[in-house]
Amino acid sequence: MNHPLRQFLDQQGFVVLDGGLATELEARGADLDHFLWSARLLAEAPDLVRSVHFDYLVAGADIIATATYQASFAGFEQAGYGRRQAEGLMRLAVELALQARGDFWSREDLRRGRLRPLVAASIGPYGACRHDGSEYHGNYGVGRRELLDFHRARMDVLADTPADLFAFETIPSLLEAEVLIELLGDYPEKCGWLSFSCRDGAHVCHGEPFVDCAALADATAQIVAVGVNCTAPEHIDSLLDSVSALRTPRVVYPNSGEQWVAGENRWAGQGCGGLNAANWYRRGARLIGGCCRTGPADIRRMRAELLGLPD
């Protein structure tokens, strides 16, 4: 199995992730008030998706994640797309990210001093595709078999693309993480990172101890990083400290600190402004970026922080 992060960790010591894809699409005028969320734009505005990927690379991202977080066959079917069309849109999501990387890498002025960026095929939780906010509690009312069947369908497609790795993101429970790791074993040449959504400084959103969930990563070489995303920045320090003994590199990309109000389809509260990349690095994180309500300016600032750390 190829380890796509090794060159970054060996040569620069960290990996900068991108920020919120949907956040930036909305900032550019996209209407994402739809059950397909950003995946809707794969059919309706693919150039806009590609341009956001490109701008995150320019801002300093070493990895861009595809617009497949909320993509599912059931969701596309609900929107009127047949199975072949849905598969084509998932593949298009990877192609758009690859095109953005190609455009970036073709510019000598942009790639100077940089390693060739990676493309991660985003795999969101079962709850994300229900469009009801259940990725923030994980109480789906379905069992292991349903989760296996759901995730296998799109992993079969995305594993058959040139994406460099999977990004299993915003996973709220131990059970769903176990399912994803089981399925990953069916693609022995593939790897990915595993990132949980957490409700506080010690537990994932479904309630299991974060330390128990993160420990799954050390049991399989195919998980190349483990950590937390779409979680309030105030919880990151204690979450990182709790898993300091893990061998697997840690990943963190929190949201801005606002709260998602599922019934009203909006974010509420104030962002805390606490995206402290240097502090997270010192606490052991090596893959660092942003999630919802963060944008290219945040990624640019975090890369500058990491580059400014003493050797």
Structurally, how many domains does the chain consist of? 1
pLDDT lower than 50: segments of the chain: 260-272
Q: Report the CATH number that the domain containing residue 203 is assigned in CATH.
A: 3.20.20.330
Q: What is d(CA 288, CA 17) in angstroms, rounded to the nearest whole number?
A: 6
Q: Which residue, among 118, 175, 136, 128, has the nearest Cα to 154 in the 3D structure? A: 128
User: Is 205 a domain residue?
Assistant: yes
Q: Which two tokens stand for residue 110?
A: 């942009």
pLDDT of residue 272: 45
Coil/strand/helix, residue 194: strand
Q: Which residue, among 176, 155, 182, has the nearest Cα to 166 in the 3D structure? A: 155
Q: Which two tokens stand for residue 81?
A: 């797309």
Q: Which two tokens stand for residue 222?
A: 């195919």
Reported in sequence order, the residue ranges of the chain that DSSP labels E, i.e. its strands, are: 15-16, 63-65, 118-123, 165-171, 192-196, 223-229, 250-253, 259-261, 266-268, 285-288
Report the first-to-last Cα separation within the chain, whole angstroms. Answer: 30
Taking a C-beta distance cutoff of 8 angstroms, is the pair 228, 252 a contact?
A: yes
217-250 pLDDT per residue, tens: 999 999 999 999 999 999 999 999 999 999 999 9
267 backbone dihedrals φ, ψ, rounded to 5°: -95, 145
User: Is 1 a domain residue?
Assistant: no
pLDDT of residue 258: 54
User: Is 210 a domain residue?
Assistant: yes
Taking a C-beta distance cutoff of 8 angstroms, is the pair 248, 285 a contact?
A: no
pLDDT of residue 257: 52
User: Domain containing 296: what range?
Assistant: 6-307
User: Is 100 a domain residue?
Assistant: yes
User: Is 172 a domain residue?
Assistant: yes
- Could you tell me where the DSSP H helices lie in 106-173? 108-111, 144-158
